[in-house]
A and B are shown apart, each in its own frame.
Chain A
Amino acid sequence: MTLIEFVNLLASALLLAGIYAVMSVGMTVIYGVMKIVNLAHAGFMMLGAYLALELFERFRIDPILAALLVFPVMFVVGRVLHWLLVRRLPTSDQPTLASLLLMFGLWLVLQNLGYFIWGNADRSIYTSHTLSLLRFGAVTISTVRLVVFGAAVACMVALHLILNHTWFGRSVRALIQNRYAGQIVGVDDQKTASITFGLGIGFAGLAGALLASLYSFNPDFGRPFLIRAFVIIVLGGLESVSGVAIGAFVLAFVETFGILFVPAGYQLALSYGLLVVVLIFLPGGVAALTAKVRRLA
């Protein structure tokens, strides 16, 4: 492999990582606060993608701007669903099977909604930028990927600021650390959970809408991404937003450079395999690994 090839792969891995991060972060906040594994995540990504498509086709709104508009819509959807369904689940410190099955049922319903409204044909968002490229010396980058990456990183930074500099963020972090202690010091856990759920769904929709600019999609959209999101949040230690960034980088690098060693057809098997390996050998994620290394040193 020449140096130029390496740099090109590195650049595309980096861009992929940004998208992966924004795709997984919604799952992490929901898991952190409510200990619910959001199996319906892919369904919300699919909804986000179609909403962006509708905004683009009906109102000629730029797809990236449309993605940002999708966020508040999905936020409201998330809060309504929390009020309607999720708050009725028993609270627990461990993810329960009931919550897993509930979210799974929700996913099926969302998928059917997608088929019902938009049919089963593959759709895509095609603009004049879709095929344009930027060249930086020997490195070639797709314009759309770069813009999507920028939007994804901006949203991650915004979330980071919210979590670290607002009272809402403080209560989210408190609940992630210890639900009961949070309640004792006066955190309204139901309200925080509801907003967090909205936020998680909003980010799922946003990620779906951003991905819609890069890939074609249909109502079954998102299953491969759901499993990638699992890999990422498990790598990131399940509950931390910065962990998600690390996990996204690891997965993006493994997938991008894996293509050198494994046939492209098997690429998905690689990420699914990574999920199992990580769950078994590194259940605490990268964070636990660095902590262990620090303890040994």
Chain B
Amino acid sequence: MSTSPAPLPIRLLAQWRTFAPSWMILAGLAVMPLLLSSPNFIRLLFVTLLWITTSVAWNLLGGFAGQISFGFAVFYGIGAYTTALSMNAGVNPFIAFLVSAITAAAASLLVGLPTFRLRGPYFAIATIGISEAVRVVMTNLSFTGGASGYRIVEHRAFRQLDHYYTALVLASIAVAFSVFISRTRFGLGLNAIRQDEDAAAGLGVNPYAYKLGAHALAAALTGMVGGVFSRYAAFIHPQGVFGFQTSVHILLMPVIGGIATIWGPVLGGVVFGIVEEQIIASFPEIHLFIYGSMLILIILVEPGGILGAFRKLLRRIHGRR
């Protein structure tokens, strides 16, 4: 029997049904701020969307390719500063975001070219060193104001919804990228690298080039998030955008949600956004404790994160029936 692919309309229909929930979520997020127009609620959604984007971006490298990086604050910070500097030079913000993406991707090559010669944990340690070194340099650099920070002046009225929809588009692009990559040869190659780098190389995957590619994509997305954030915040400083905390947050979300999946990092971003903005606001003294114990629990009990635990639960319920 011939196994020719189904005709295009049927394939599209099948795909449409797979993605129907995502389109519904997207539509919901698009109309949400029009129904509930409390500025604080929109801010929460905006920040959560930004976190989701960085989480999904980190997952391209840390999840799909299995290269844990503690240094994503570098790209976040470079994106933030690039947008800030370009906007103050009179560049349109959306062009500034693109410039941020390109600069961050270029920086990712500078970081990746030497460090991807290292394997797994050594790469992770090297990224800590690089990220701290960059922060120290940025704290001392004079043309960006050094440790005292940098102000962004935008000569038009502040409209929160502009920022919100920018973040929504960015998050959608990130998720679309993640879905797309997981279905291509590139994604399969990254998967193979995560499982066994030597075997992947034996099968004709070039681990070095693949990792650099995933790193650059992740950095570009993270850089854009940094840019969007800096335009919203209108003030950035190295301890914030280049801070170790930023790297930690970006790494925690996908691990909490479920590493190397498409929806895990999104879930992680949502959980993190809510935890960071709501729970921490009420119990600021235990936020590191919450993150640390979450991390310990996930590693020891359920390496698949929340998504993995949820799937296990579903399987058990179905098994009982």
Q: Interface residues, chain A, CB within 8 Å of chain B?
A: 37, 85, 88-89, 94-98, 100-102, 104-113, 115-116, 223-224, 227, 230-231, 234, 263, 265-266, 268-269, 272-273, 275-276, 279-280, 283
Asked if B41 CB lies within 8 Å of chain A CBs, one says no
* Contact, CB under 8 Å: A100 / B128: no
Q: Nearest Cβ distance between residue B164 and chain A, in whole angstroms? A: 31
Q: Interface residues, chain B, CB within 8 Å of chain A?
A: 66, 68, 114-115, 117-118, 120-122, 124-126, 128-130, 132-133, 136-137, 139-140, 244, 248, 255, 285-289, 291-296, 298-300, 303
For the complex of A and B, the 6 pairs showing the least CB-CB separation, nearest first, are A105-B295, A108-B292, A109-B292, A272-B133, A112-B288, A112-B289
* Contact, CB under 8 Å: A108 / B291: yes
Chain A residues with Cβ under 8 A from B292's Cβ? 105-112
Give 29 pairs: A residue, B residue, CB < 8 Å, sorted on A.
A85-B300, A94-B120, A95-B121, A96-B121, A97-B124, A101-B68, A101-B299, A102-B299, A105-B296, A105-B299, A106-B292, A109-B288, A109-B293, A111-B288, A116-B285, A116-B286, A230-B125, A230-B128, A263-B140, A265-B136, A266-B137, A268-B132, A268-B136, A272-B136, A273-B129, A275-B129, A276-B126, A280-B115, A280-B118
* Contact, CB under 8 Å: B121 / A112: no
Pick the contact of B285: A106, A108, A115, A283 (CB < 8 A). A115
Pick the contact of B129: A111, A112, A230 (CB < 8 A). A230
Chain A residues with Cβ under 8 A from B137's Cβ? 266, 269
* Contact, CB under 8 Å: B125 / A37: yes
Pick the contact of A98: B122, B294, B303 (CB < 8 A). B303
* Contact, CB under 8 Å: A105 / B294: yes
* Contact, CB under 8 Å: B128 / A109: no
Q: Nearest Cβ distance between residue A13 and chain B, in whole angstroms? A: 21
Q: Is the interface of B mostly helix, strand, loop or mixed?
A: helix
A236 to B140, CA, bound (A): 31
Given A96-B121, A97-B124, A100-B68, CB of A106 within 8 Å of CB of B296:
yes
Pick the contact of B295: A89, A108, A224 (CB < 8 A). A108
A171 to B303, CA, bound (A): 32
Query: Smallest CB-CB separation from A273: which chain B residue?
Result: B133
A197 to B138, CA, bound (A): 37
* Contact, CB under 8 Å: B299 / A268: no
A104 to B121, CA, bound (A): 13
* Contact, CB under 8 Å: B118 / A279: yes
Query: Smallest CB-CB separation from A111: which chain B residue?
Result: B288
Query: Smallest CB-CB separation from B289: which chain A residue?
Result: A112
* Contact, CB under 8 Å: B124 / A279: no
Chain A residues with Cβ under 8 A from B286's Cβ? 112, 116
Chain A residues with Cβ under 8 A from B68's Cβ? 97, 100-101
Query: Smallest CB-CB separation from A267: which chain B residue?
Result: B136
Q: Nearest Cβ distance between residue A237 and chain B, in whole angstroms? A: 13
A250 to B289, CA, bound (A): 36
Chain B residues with Cβ under 8 A from A268's Cβ? 132-133, 136
* Contact, CB under 8 Å: B288 / A102: no
* Contact, CB under 8 Å: B291 / A105: yes
Query: Smallest CB-CB separation from B118: which chain A residue?
Result: A279
A106 to B140, CA, bound (A): 31
A107 to B253, CA, bound (A): 17
Chain B residues with Cβ under 8 A from A230's Cβ? 125, 128-129
Query: Smallest CB-CB separation from A105: which chain B residue?
Result: B295
Q: Nearest Cβ distance between residue B306 and chain A, in whole angstroms? A: 15
* Contact, CB under 8 Å: A272 / B129: yes
Given contacts A96-B121, A280-B117, 18 further A-B contacts (CB under 8 A): A37-B121, A94-B120, A101-B295, A102-B295, A102-B299, A104-B295, A105-B293, A105-B299, A108-B288, A115-B288, A116-B289, A231-B129, A272-B129, A272-B130, A273-B129, A276-B115, A279-B129, A280-B118
Query: Smallest CB-CB separation from B290: which chain A residue?
Result: A112
* Contact, CB under 8 Å: A283 / B114: no
